[in-house]
Structure 1
Amino acid sequence: MLNQKDDCIESITIPYGNHVDYDECLWFLNRNFDDCLHVIHEKGIRKAIKFNNDLLLLEITGDIGCLRATVLVGNVTENIKRQIIEFITEWFDLARDLTPFYKLLEGHRILAYMSKEYYGLRLVGIPDLFEALAWSIIGQQINLSFAYKLKRRLVEQYGDFISYGNTRYYIFPDYSTLAKAKLADLKDMQFSSRKGEYLIELASTFDNNILSKDFLLGLPDMMVRQKVLTDLRGIGIWTANYTLMKCLREPSSIPYGDAGLLNALVNHQIIKEKGDLKKIEHFFTQFVGWESYVVFYLWRSLAIKNN
């Protein structure tokens, strides 16, 4: 764990095209959940990131036609600048043109309102594959509030952090650290024995170079990637599809069985029974190539802003 002071203050511009509302993205990231990996600050967000051994603290704010990343802590090289731009572009999915998606929404009798009400919301992802899979395991079969509590306990115990102002900004633990974690310690944090085992085994899989993001991206299609993931202990179809959506940006990934998704489908009267898989599959045929975004916007519909 690192405790750093300001090394430099540098601002980096990340341009984007149409259909981006940074405030909408920030609100989705907040939603009154206690996420320990970022802090919503004024009109921006502060987040610690790590590139190899370089720890940085960023403050990301919105501007006309671009985001601006101010490096509050950390040494900035041209290579680091490039990685920051790539990270933020991927995190907020800024390179994607949402015009075809909004046309599909506008033509749908029930979901047409989303193109205006949630305009500019990007599918905020989890660029790191290990973090995405670990978070999916943490969230299995428990409510989101408790999942975020478990995540905080894990991160504060095993993750690096940067101190700035009177606040610690944490980074998700790397797999080499969690591979050495003791199951008893995870159980003390209220992880079930099985979840603790899954997390340690997953970390060891990465630590032994059996799995990586580059490896998955090199596979021929989504079905093959899905099979590789579900062959891992603790990774079912929901976890695999959630990870493919949030990390690998699979456009047609649907986390079937997700409680939030099912609730949103019922709320919109798209289905009456949560087990009606045929109706769910038929519904998604109207959004081929944009299924992941539809899921994300349905999740968004469950969170109501307090005006």
Structure 2
Amino acid sequence: MILRANGPLDYRIMYDFMAVQDDCLYTTVDQKVRKAESFDGRRVLFELSESAEPDSVNVEILYNEGVEEKVVAAYVTDWFDLDYDLNRFYKFAGGNARLREVTQRLHGFRMLAYVDIVDVLVWSIIGQQINMKFAFALKRRLVEHFNHSVEYEGEQYRLMPSAEELLTLSVKEMREMQISTRKAEYIRNCAQGIIDGELSKEYLQSFEHYDAAKAHLTKVKGIGPWSANVVLMRTIKFRHAIPVGDAGLRNAFKITDQLDDKPDRAYMEKIMSEWGAFGTYATLYTWRILG
């Protein structure tokens, strides 16, 4: 099946970005992306590739335990943020000196979302204050511990464990994976929150206002402003959510503004306050300035 984006989509730019992420929950080979998912206990493996039609992606289901095609289509639409009107952002970016060049260079790049609330909460905790290479390694150890996968053509395609399964992991076991004691406790705390409902995706999506959703998240032990904004950006999709204080943004602003030192928080907040409803995409493209 072919899924069309609302506005520009450059599959090759998306593929190149995904190929360097080292995320254990999908594979990238020969311009094709393969990902396994489980829907109500039924597993499916699908493959994404470049479509002959413009601004589209081709989706082929390779293995299926009874998942409807429309469910896979909805997942991919969410994952690649295909419903977002990217032209509206580009119109804004065209008048912004910091964003103009990078949006022209990466025209058709869309947000790679976290569809699974377990995945995004684990990532928002593991990724705190460490480099991405190590964060991806920790995530892989956690995922591989449970050994859930779809096997196809001799390859294994990993599945994220459930919140219930994460609670079976002790802090000691996570320490053996090199996850810090504090982060291990936070992961268990968030897993319990998902089970109890206060951190379920459905509940977080019920918030009409960003400030209320952020306040709710930051009340949870282990979720600070940075982690809350990762969740609100990449899963709940409040379009003006920005991880204020992010080290990558500071480094990017140093480049775009030709600063001798990294900017302080007040400097960053002034810039980001101008982004408004385009904050999420402005953030994503600003990160790409770093490569």
Deviation at 1:167, TM superposition (A): 1.7
- 1:225 and 2:213 correspond: yes
Which structure 2 residue ranges, 5 or more long, are not aligned? none
**Could you give the per-residue CA deviations for residues 81-125 of structure 1, whole angstroms, max 9, x where no partner exists?**
111111111111111111121122221223211221010000111
- 1:157 and 2:145 correspond: yes
**Could you give the per-residue CA deviations for residues 231-280 of structure 1, whole angstroms, max 9, x where no partner exists?**
11100000001110000111111101111111111111176554522322
Matching residue's letter, 2:62: L
RMSD: 1.6
- What CA distance in whole angstroms lies between the structure 2 residues aligned with 1:44 and 1:86? 19
Aligned to 2:244: 256
- What CA distance in whole angstroms lies between the structure 2 residues aligned with 1:277 and 1:141? 17
Matching residue's letter, 2:45: L
The question of whether the paired residues in 1 share the 8 Å contact of 2:6 and 2:86 is answered with no
- What CA distance in whole angstroms lies between the structure 2 residues aligned with 1:171 and 1:38? 9
Aligned to 1:4: none
Matching residue's letter, 2:4: P
1:219–1:101 distance in 2 versus 1, CA, 3 Å: same
- What CA distance in whole angstroms lies between the structure 2 residues aligned with 1:269 and 1:112? 13
The question of whether the paired residues in 1 share the 8 Å contact of 2:37 and 2:44 is answered with yes
Deviation at 1:34, TM superposition (A): 2.2
- What CA distance in whole angstroms lies between the structure 2 residues aligned with 1:20 and 1:208? 38
Deviation at 1:285, TM superposition (A): 3.3
The question of whether the paired residues in 2 share the 8 Å contact of 1:87 and 1:127 is answered with yes
The question of whether the paired residues in 1 share the 8 Å contact of 2:193 and 2:200 is answered with no
Deviation at 1:195, TM superposition (A): 0.7
- What CA distance in whole angstroms lies between the structure 1 residues aligned with 2:207 and 2:7? 31
- 1:18 and 2:11 correspond: no
Aligned to 1:300: 288
**Could you give the per-residue CA deviations for residues 36-78 of structure 1, whole angstroms, max 9, x where no partner exists?**
111112122000111111111111112113322111111345x
Aligned to 1:207: 195
Question: 1:238 is paired with a residue of what secondary structure?
Answer: helix
Select the residue among 50, 63, 82 that pairs with 1:73.
63
- What CA distance in whole angstroms lies between the structure 2 residues aligned with 1:74 and 1:177? 23
Select the residue among 10, 18, 36 that pairs with 1:29.
18
Deviation at 1:211, TM superposition (A): 2.5
The question of whether the paired residues in 2 share the 8 Å contact of 1:123 and 1:293 is answered with yes
Aligned to 2:270: 282
After TM superposition, list the pairs within 5 Å mapping 1:1-307 onto structure 2: 12-31=1-20, 33-63=21-51, 64-65=53-54, 66-76=56-66, 80-269=68-257, 273-303=261-291
Matching residue's letter, 1:13: I
- What CA distance in whole angstroms lies between the structure 2 residues aligned with 1:166 and 1:54? 20
The question of whether the paired residues in 1 share the 8 Å contact of 2:190 and 2:199 is answered with no
1:271–1:173 distance in 2 versus 1, CA, 3 Å: farther
Matching residue's letter, 1:122: R
The question of whether the paired residues in 2 share the 8 Å contact of 1:158 and 1:178 is answered with no
Question: 1:241 is paired with a residue of what secondary structure?
Answer: helix
- What CA distance in whole angstroms lies between the structure 2 residues aligned with 1:21 and 1:127? 20
Q: Percent identity?
A: 31
| TM-score using structure 1 length | 0.90
- What CA distance in whole angstroms lies between the structure 2 residues aligned with 1:15 and 1:106? 24
1:298–1:166 distance in 2 versus 1, CA, 3 Å: same
The question of whether the paired residues in 2 share the 8 Å contact of 1:284 and 1:291 is answered with yes
The question of whether the paired residues in 1 share the 8 Å contact of 2:36 and 2:157 is answered with yes
1:195–1:20 distance in 2 versus 1, CA, 3 Å: same
- What CA distance in whole angstroms lies between the structure 2 residues aligned with 1:293 and 1:232? 26
Matching residue's letter, 1:145: K
- What CA distance in whole angstroms lies between the structure 1 residues aligned with 2:146 and 2:167? 11
- What CA distance in whole angstroms lies between the structure 2 residues aligned with 1:130 and 1:271? 38
The question of whether the paired residues in 1 share the 8 Å contact of 2:249 and 2:287 is answered with yes
